[in-house]
Amino acid sequence: MSYLRNKFKVIIVTGVPGVGKTTVLSLLQEKAKKLNLKIKVVNFGTFMLETAIKEKLVNNRDEMRHLSLRKQLELQQLAAKRIIEESLKELNEEEFLLIDTHAIVKTSSGYLPGLPKHVLDELKPDMIAVIEADANEIYNRQTKDTSRNRSDFGTVRDIEKLMEYARSASFASAVHYASTVSIVVNKENKADEAAEQLIQYLQKL
């Protein structure tokens, strides 16, 4: 089974910017600790950013979306490889690696799949969890988040379309490694419920 799965269980957690993935994952870590579940959470974009900054390609995370397509593909593959290499040193069977990332990325040249096959060949996910929320709520969160440059994400309808693309991309990616796809709704001020739903999915893998 090593050609289909890593020794630990891999869950890719996706969602459009502003959906609340980081909050949900933070709450999930607290719940996992109480249940004595060993969980490692990593941010895929952080691994890409570290390499991009080292190569003096960008100054911040939002600039990565505007790099050339080929450079983004290269950064994706390097990030996936590093994540698995580091996790192999820390995680054993029945333990969990959760990867915070995007199933679709809006770039200067169009929509880029966040989980193409060359990335999946490294990650070999057991599950792809899609965090979703009301588009109006996401729009409000993006507007309030002054730490990020998301001016090109546009209107509420643009966010709805991006969520549709992200869900479709998640199902398309799941085909390669027979990964399950789980939809988790993060309602306003109810991130704890979303975290609870996600941890229940983990326990059933």
Task: Measure Cα distances from 39 to 34, 42, 112, 145 in Å.
Answer: 12, 10, 28, 28
162 domain-assigned:
yes
pLDDT range class, residue 13, cuts 50, 70, 90: very high
The domain in which residue 168 lies consists of: 9-203
Amino acid at 184: V
The pLDDT, as a whole number, for residue 151 is 54
Total domains present in the chain: 1
- 72-86 tens-digit pLDDT: 999 999 999 999 999
For the whole model, what pTM was predicted? 0.91
2 domain-assigned:
no
Residue 131 pairs with which residues in a beta bridge? 184
134 domain-assigned:
yes
- 21-59 tens-digit pLDDT: 999 999 999 999 999 999 999 999 999 999 999 999 999
- 95-147 tens-digit pLDDT: 999 999 999 988 888 999 999 999 999 999 999 999 999 999 999 888 877 66
155 domain-assigned:
yes
- 163-205 tens-digit pLDDT: 999 999 999 999 999 999 999 999 999 999 999 999 999 999 9
4 domain-assigned:
no
pLDDT range class, residue 152, cuts 50, 70, 90: low
Which CATH number characterizes residue 66's domain? 3.40.50.300
175 domain-assigned:
yes
30 domain-assigned:
yes
3 domain-assigned:
no
The pLDDT, as a whole number, for residue 136 is 94
On the question of pLDDT at 6 being above 60, the answer is yes
Q: How far apart are CA 55 and CA 42, in angstroms?
A: 21
Task: Measure Cα distances from 114 to 44, 71, 89, 164 in Å.
Answer: 10, 14, 25, 14
